[in-house]
Chains A and B, each alone.
Chain A
Amino acid sequence: MSPMDARDEAAYAARVRAWAGDLRTGSTRTWRDFLDAPVTDVQTADDGPLPGAAQLELVRRLAGGDGPIPRFAELADLVATTAGPGRGLVDAPLPWPSRRTVGTPAVEPDELPAEELLRASAGVLARLLTPEAAIPAPRRPAAWRPWRRGFTLLGAPTTVELVRGALLQRGLREGGSRTTWFVLGGPLEDLMAQRWSARVRAGAGLRWQRLWRTAATNDRLPPAIALPTIARYVSDQFDPARVHVVLAEEPGQALAAVAEVLGVPAGTLGPTADVLATDLLRRVNPVLGLAVGEEARRRVVDRVWPEIAGGEPVAPLGAPAAQLDWAVAAGERMADALRAGRYAVHGDPALVVPTRRSDVRRVPDPDAVLEHALRVVARAWQRYTQRSTERGVQP
């Protein structure tokens, strides 16, 4: 393979632009297949820097997604001109018969690691969500019904949020001097997943593995999900008879148990943000925060993210293999402490102890997250084009 000269560079650039033009039409041809095909006239945009392998491959994957995407060519242009944030392969070029002597080695786009495409997706999503930041959050005045029974929920953050919403909808009152305290929990790994999701929605870019590593290194669960500590504290401060620990496999069961104690009908709950959405959001967060500021990021995540990032439920994550022993020990300690508490426990404390199953994913699967990211980009693009159409401007 001979080194690239100036003429080669020009031919390479023309071919890359031609492939980009082909992909704009919704083609799913790989770079390899495109190079093998005869050269045809394709309309291309000749100005601007050459898009990188990750951007072009992301366009190709989007074209091969679940359904047709409106105004796909415009989305392709947006993706091709959006740099992927974070550290990774810098502007990876595409393979070419003559070789480059400097820079990042060439890479077949369809062989790029999912992480690279996820970086590109995070940049695209931040760009698509940026206009959403201009929309103010709706104000929902809370109804004040002092005669209703009071409740206070602590523990598993997602469950707390869902159950709280359901109880408020039924007209119950939060807090108050005679409040009933509920400490909501479930399997330890689910508690950690909920803690992870809460931190990520609050703006963190935290990885699942790092959350566990920190907890295990310090031999301490995050205080927000240390159920026995929370339950003991409220029991000591208030009347233990008004403290209930509710252990449930999923939020709907927790709501049923809480509703039974409060003497109200339970009802059903909406879906929760899953592992894939959380792992995607932690990648989008820093980029979106830098683009629109923290307050606006939070508004967008509260208002738009649940709508565009909801997906098919996936199996929950287990503790990473390196921390599994610690997780089991921590779960057993938690179960023992809950059994010894002076408060009521609804559900079996053994539920919190992780199992050593082999059929569980212990870290998020980047390929699955990428597949989800493609769906989320498509949905975000639909919102983006709708908003642009409403405002009468080109996206």
Chain B
Amino acid sequence: MPRRVFLHIGTPKSGTTYLQEKLARNRDVIAAQGLTYPVTRTGDHFEAALDLVDERWPGQRDAARGQWPALVGEVRRASGDVLVSHEILAAATPAQVRTAMAAFGDDEVHVVLTARDLGHQLPAEWQERLEHRGRRSFGKFVTTVSEARRTNPDLWFWRVQAIPDVLTRWGNGLPPERIHVITVPQPGEPQDVLWDRMASVVGVDPAAARVEVTDANPSLGIAETAVIRRLNRLLVGKGVPREVYVDLVREVIAHDTLAGRPDQIRAVLPESCWPFVEAVTAEWVDWIEGAGVDVVGDLADLQPRRPDYTDGTWVSPDHPPAELVADAALEALAAVIRDIAPTHRSPVRRLASRLIRG
């Protein structure tokens, strides 16, 4: 019997970081159950996925050259089943998919897609873009997305989020039973449910993976997001290197500081977006049912939950309360000062360097 190669291809913002952390931290017990989660030089499969999809990714595309063949080599060396996981694989073109599939010609390839409701994915992807130096307002982001083509898409959002299109590209020629759509539970369900679903697909005992993952990729509230967006606008053309941006803005400010702030106001779609979101979801659900792919979980998880707009609690993600933004900005500033303080030059050395410069 050929061994199975599971390709977990996305979608971004559907709990993939949590699942990848869970797999990495429990690599040994999972391997003992016959599933290899290959080790790479960076630990995850991002570089390999980037090498395959050949996407412009500031400062990283060149570094990733050759990493897909390297990962394929790891997969070939492994005995038993193998799981490859990265969400940007969802963006692969049909030609890139053929390249990927050709590498596993003798294996039984399974495509796995974790899918989350579109009402969640739109704000989540917007925030993700902002953490990659994006500057667009939420309103403009949603307009761009809703006006773009969802089949054979050019726009990144649909390339990685349009479930039928992603599965048609990756599932081309595979029997539907080897295409697994894992639905992400709605908020309120324990996070373990997602892991249980993934474990059931790849054939490992979910309880054996005992090392837990704390919030692997927390999201930001709208005030916190506004701080990042304004920072991005202020930093345009200022020559801030990518490493500095990642260290200070993404890690220190966004992940370590702002993500932990209490009582954040979550980004929620404006009421006017719901007809679009529900129409797209309806098409996706009918497509998934008709395709006969393996649904793990419940398609009801993909139905966006429309909030109550009449109680006056909805706040436009583009107009968070100014005082909350100011508080968040000050916390961000304090965090940066704390972060650079230990390594900052002493007054004597600063004076010396000024004298040298004249």
List A residues at the B interface (Cβ < 8 Å). Answer: 83-87, 119, 122, 199, 202-207, 210-211, 213-215, 217-218, 220, 222, 282-283, 285-287, 289-295, 297
Contacts and interface: CB of A to CB of B under 8 A. Distances in A.
A32 B310 CA distance: 60
B292 A86 contact: yes
Closest 4 CB pairs of A and B: A85-B292, A286-B291, A218-B275, A205-B290
Given A290-B171, A290-B293, 6 more contacts: A86-B291, A206-B283, A210-B282, A214-B278, A285-B287, A290-B179
B151 interface: yes
B286 A206 contact: yes
A218 B278 contact: yes
A46 to B, nearest CB: 24
B246 to A, nearest CB: 35
A206 B282 contact: yes
Interface stretch (B20-28, B53-61, B78-86, B160-168): B160-168
Contacts of A206: 282-283, 286-287
Nearest to A283: B290
Interface in B257-286: 274-275, 278-279, 282-283, 285-286
Contacts of A287: 176, 290-292
A394 B151 CA distance: 35
A interface secondary structure, majority: helix
B142 to A, nearest CB: 15
A67 B257 CA distance: 74
A292 B172 contact: yes
A213 B285 CA distance: 14
Interface of B: 94, 151-152, 164-165, 167-169, 171-174, 176, 179, 274-275, 278-279, 282-283, 285-293
B289 A205 contact: yes
B290 A285 contact: yes
Contacts of A220: 275
Given A87-B289, A290-B179, A295-B152, A214 B279 contact: yes
A285 B286 CA distance: 11
A203 B166 CA distance: 13
A73 to B, nearest CB: 25
Contacts, number: 97
A24 B290 CA distance: 28
A286 B282 contact: no
Contacts of B179: 290
A161 B331 CA distance: 58
A293 B172 contact: yes
A199 B94 CA distance: 22
Contacts of B289: 86-87, 205
Contacts of B291: 85-86, 205, 286-287, 289-290
B292 A87 contact: yes
10 contacts: A86-B292, A205-B289, A205-B291, A282-B290, A286-B291, A290-B176, A290-B291, A291-B172, A293-B172, A294-B169
A291 B152 CA distance: 16
Contact of A199 (B169, B172, B283, B293): B283
A205 B283 contact: yes
Contacts of B169: 293-294
> Which residue of A204, A220, A222, A283 has the most chain B CB atoms within 10 A of its CB atom?
A204
Nearest to A295: B152
Contacts of B290: 85-86, 122, 205, 282-283, 285-287
Contact of A205 (B171, B172, B174, B286): B286
